[in-house]
Amino acid sequence: MEKSVSDTFAIRLDSAAAQVAAALEALLGEAPLDGEIARPAHLILAMRHGVLNGGKRLRPFLVIETARMLGAPEDAALRVAAALECIHCYSLVHDDLPAMDDDDLRRGQPTVHIAFDEATAILAGDALLTLAFDVISAPETDLPADARLRLVNALSRAAGVGGMVGGQALDLAAERVSPDEAGIVKLQAMKTGALLRFACAAGAIAAGCDDAIVARVTRFGEIIGLAFQLADDLLDVTSDAATLGKAAGKDAARGKGTLVSLHGAPVAKQKLAALVDEAEAVLAPFGDAADTLRQAAGFIATREK
């Protein structure tokens, strides 16, 4: 019996996740690298707890698949993917802290500050964030110096005050004063969109593509970032806790404005379909080579958790 497209895609996603987990595992050894003095065992354990937690590894997957489509070296792309996952995971570790979202569980496991303590969770997050830049800038990421530098710079801007961290700050503020539609779009573009956008751009930068190609895959990343968020907001109103593996209806309970709460689910579903079409159009010039990224857009829009 032939495998369906979605089966093939699921296998690819799982296999990339396994590769990324192995790469992260290797990066979080106890032996100090050149220029390091020692790696405290306890802190390494907390970092591993925050990172090796069976995540879907969607962001690294996008790095790997964009890199593959554009012909970037696989090993280097995997390192960049792992670095990006360090950033994503550090943000979750800090987000779960009592002063932030105060979550005790993530993927059914105690969060880092519960499994260790709050101070260790803060430091583990800091260390993961720092490690991301180590990994990309190291000579082992076998790309031309210019490409590595561009990656470091793009990642810092996607992750920092003008990207992910800034989006988290806007999200905190949104609990006090509800943002309007433009405010919601900006918040989401920063909080979740910036890293997805970087993921796709990174593959093109690693492949040494010209600016037009980098801009095209960056746009693809931007579109699937919007789709990811819209799908998330829809799931929050249409799904239940058993399917999601986390509480549903959280946004409404927190009075958190989303495009779904503003326009209703039917309009949001139309927008989502339009985004998938737009993603298709952006990928068209890459032909069949873009098939996995096409499926990724579909997966992001239709996932059930």
Structure tokens at 216: 């095209």
End-to-end CA distance of the chain: 27
Q: Does 126 bind a second copy (CB under 8 A)?
A: yes
Q: Does 212 bind a second copy (CB under 8 A)?
A: no
The angle subtended at Cα 114 by Cα 188 and Cα 106, nearest 5°, is 40
Which residue of 10, 52, 149, 252 would you call a contact of a second copy, by CB under 8 A? 149
Q: Which is nearer to a second copy, 7 or 175 (CB)?
A: 175
User: How many whole angstroms separate alpha carbon 1 and alpha carbon 284?
Assistant: 30
Q: Does 291 bind a second copy (CB under 8 A)?
A: no
Site string for a second copy, 78-117 (x = CB under 8 A): ------------xx--x--x-xx----------------x
- Nearest CA-CA partner of 95 in 52, 50, 49: 50
User: How many whole angstroms separate alpha carbon 53 and alpha carbon 49?
Assistant: 7
The single-letter DSSP state of residue 97 is S
Structure tokens at 292: 């996995």
Binding-site size, a second copy (CB under 8 A)? 64
Structure tokens at 150: 């561009």
Which residue of 189, 204, 296, 301 would you call a contact of a second copy, by CB under 8 A? 189
Cβ 145 to a second copy, closest distance in Å? 4
| Interaction site with a second copy (CB under 8 A) | 32-40, 42-44, 47, 90-91, 94, 97, 99-100, 117-120, 122-123, 125-127, 129-131, 133-134, 137-138, 145-146, 148-149, 152-163, 165-170, 172-173, 186, 189-190, 193-194
